Structure 1
Amino acid sequence: MWLGRFYLIFLIPYTLFCSIGAVLAGLVDRSGKWSHAWARLWSYGCVKAAGVRLVVDGTDKIPTDGPVIYMGNHQGNFDIHVLSIAIPRRFSWIAKAELFRVPVFGGAMRRAGYVPLDRSDGRKALKSMKEAAARIASGTSVVIFPEGTRSTDGNLLPFKRGAFLLAAKAGVPIVPFTINGSRRANPAHTLELNPGTIHVTFSDPIPVAGEKEDVLLERVREAVTARLEAP
């Protein structure tokens, strides 16, 4: 527990520092590239401070040009950090709208070009998906957790269809990823921190052209499950 408290003491000022850096960078570079670089710096620092070792496999399967949609499991808070480091190309997060209302931090996310997902009602969620589709059409890759929230026991939750409706509309490949070890590093709803290894594995891209949403959902789920360790 003491390590978790020490990490929290580090996390608060470090997050503020990186958020201010991202906001200021966004004033100079409207593309969001510099702000995203600050987000990656934030993730590097958090992973190092937590004593987490990151192992990444399958980056050679990620297309080197054109936008893609990354989809995979969500185990814990460190998923954000390890994906920010593991994904070699710039991307945008599709994240819950509440995070964008956090002072300074939310501004940093907007400067980086991330997309808020408002799930308070269907119309707002649809607007969020249209914004994400426009971002993809402009050439930007995005990351989505199709479970919609973290799994507290490590087992995959049901996938929400909205992510696959977006994929079908955008018409770009889906790159599945599987995260192992994140839940052990920081169990849900606790300050407990356990230094160790988090493993991120990317699977072969899944083409979406001509496929129905339900078929895409099952193919992504199979790819993620195939590399998911037992809880």
Structure 2
Amino acid sequence: MLYSVAHTVIPPLARAVWRPTVEGLHHVPTSGPVIVASNHLSFFDSVVIPVVVPRKVVFLAKSDYFTGTGVKGTLTRAWFEGLGMLPVDRDDTKAAIASLDTALEVLRNGEAFGIYPEGTRSRDGRIYRGRTGVAHLALTAGCPVVPVGLAGTEDIQPVGSNRPRRAKVSVRFGAPITVAGEYDGVPSGRARRELTDRIMAAIGDLTDQEPAGIYNERPAEA
């Protein structure tokens, strides 16, 4: 209910403010399970994609955003729930497994799940090697993966800034990558690696980012 109400208000307002350029939206299936896999430049990536896609796209967000108190906490929780986000404890040692279970449940319910195969956002503009969780989800659920290339979202709220600003943002959707029957007989580890590399190559084609060739790591928190 909250999502339905918020989705009639937030997307038009956000599009009016940032006026994102959107290409290839027809590649996103209008129904059924699908993984929306994107490069990751900013916290706002998880806002921009749900704003431009007509159907609900579920992303995971830090559980801290859902536990605030007072008016600010209530508004923050309503914002994230209204965008279709689900809480995850990133500091829990079992969080990665729990996240995959949550994602599979979303896909089994016939919904769209958004994921960043790089794991964490790029701070130097390069595109990093993908982690195989995205392939595990696609192969387990047997659903297609739509690659997404974002540009400009890092300028909405640069590191050190405490409020969003207007920026030129573009969102490009690529043709779905199908997996059904394509990896039959291929060892699971190899299948996950090959599919992940295919997905990252497709994302890279949409962004023209320089490949880093390595995994991206979350910076240590002070």
TM-score by length of 1: 0.73
Identify the match of residue 135 of structure 2 among 164, 167, 184: 164
* AA in 2 matched with 1:127: A
Note the C-alpha offset of 1:140: 1.1
Q: Which residue of 2 aligns with 1:217?
A: 196
Could you report, residue by residue, the CA deviation over 1:189-229 in whole angstroms, capped at 9, with x for unpaired residues?
33486634211000010112343211121111111111214
* SS in structure 1 at match of 2:169: strand
Note the C-alpha offset of 1:134: 1.4
1:142-221 map, 5 Å: 142-191=113-162, 195-209=166-180, 210-211=182-183, 212-221=191-200
* AA in 1 matched with 2:26: D
Residues in 2 aligned to 1:46 and 1:90: alpha-carbon distance in whole angstroms: 16
Q: Which residue of 2 aligns with 1:6?
A: none
1:117 aligns with 2:88: yes
Note the C-alpha offset of 1:44: 4.2
Cα pair 1:176 1:204 within 8 Å, conserved: yes
Paired residues in the alignment total 197
Give the structure with the larger helix fraction. Answer: 1
Residues in 2 aligned to 1:164 and 1:40: alpha-carbon distance in whole angstroms: 32
Cα pair 2:146 2:174 within 8 Å, conserved: yes
Cα 1:137–1:192 shift into 2, 3 Å: closer
Residues in 2 aligned to 1:140 and 1:38: alpha-carbon distance in whole angstroms: 18
Could you report, residue by residue, the CA deviation over 1:111-169 in whole angstroms, capped at 9, with x for unpaired residues?
76533333334433212321221121011111112222221221113322223222222
TM-score by length of 2: 0.75
1:42 aligns with 2:21: no
Cα 1:198–1:40 shift into 2, 3 Å: farther
Cα pair 1:43 1:85 within 8 Å, conserved: yes
Cα 1:227–1:207 shift into 2, 3 Å: same
Cα pair 2:107 2:141 within 8 Å, conserved: yes
How many percent identity over aligned positions? Answer: 28
What 5-or-longer segments of structure 1 have no aligned partner? 1-28
Identify the match of residue 76 of structure 1 among 8, 19, 42: 42
Residues in 2 aligned to 1:192 and 1:98: alpha-carbon distance in whole angstroms: 18
Residues in 2 aligned to 1:142 and 1:169: alpha-carbon distance in whole angstroms: 14
